[in-house]
């Protein structure tokens, strides 16, 4: 599998309402941190995030987290 692009070396803090969201795993989306279909034709697929309660979420910006789609601090090591 190829390496994802790294749109930013920090999490994306996003305020989300209950519902389903799709986190960009390839790093190519123009709608970061969410998928816009840019992964088509690659090894990447978006990661589904189901939000049950309104809140602020810190989604990975470097695309290398071990806790997809949440930031786990990996960006501090790249």
Residue 57 placed within a domain: yes
The position carrying tokens 């390839």 is: 26
pLDDT per residue over 37-75, tens digit each? 999 999 999 999 999 999 999 999 999 999 999 999 999
Residue 67 placed within a domain: yes
Supply the pLDDT for residue 2.
86
* Nearest alpha carbon to residue 58 among 14, 22, 19: 14
Residue 2 placed within a domain: no
Residue 65 placed within a domain: yes
The dihedral sign for the CA sequence 63, 12, 20, 35: negative
Residue 33 placed within a domain: yes
pTM: 0.94
Look up the domain containing 58 and give its range: 12-77
Residue 46 placed within a domain: yes
> In whole angstroms, what separates CA 7 from the centre of its chain?
10
**CA-to-CA distance for 41 and 51, rounded, in angstroms?**
28
CB 3 within 8 A of CB 62: no
How many domains is the chain partitioned into structurally? 1
Residue 7 placed within a domain: no
């Amino acid at each position: 599998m190829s390496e994802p692009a790294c749109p930013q070396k920090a999490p994306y803090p996003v305020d989300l309402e209950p519902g389903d969201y799709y986190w960009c795993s390839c790093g190519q989306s123009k709608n970061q941190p969410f998928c816009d279909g840019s992964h088509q034709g690659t090894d990447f697929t978006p990661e589904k995030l189901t939000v049950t309660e309104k809140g602020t979420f810190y989604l990975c910006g470097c695309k290398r987290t071990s806790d997809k789609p949440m930031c786990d601090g990996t960006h501090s090591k790249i």
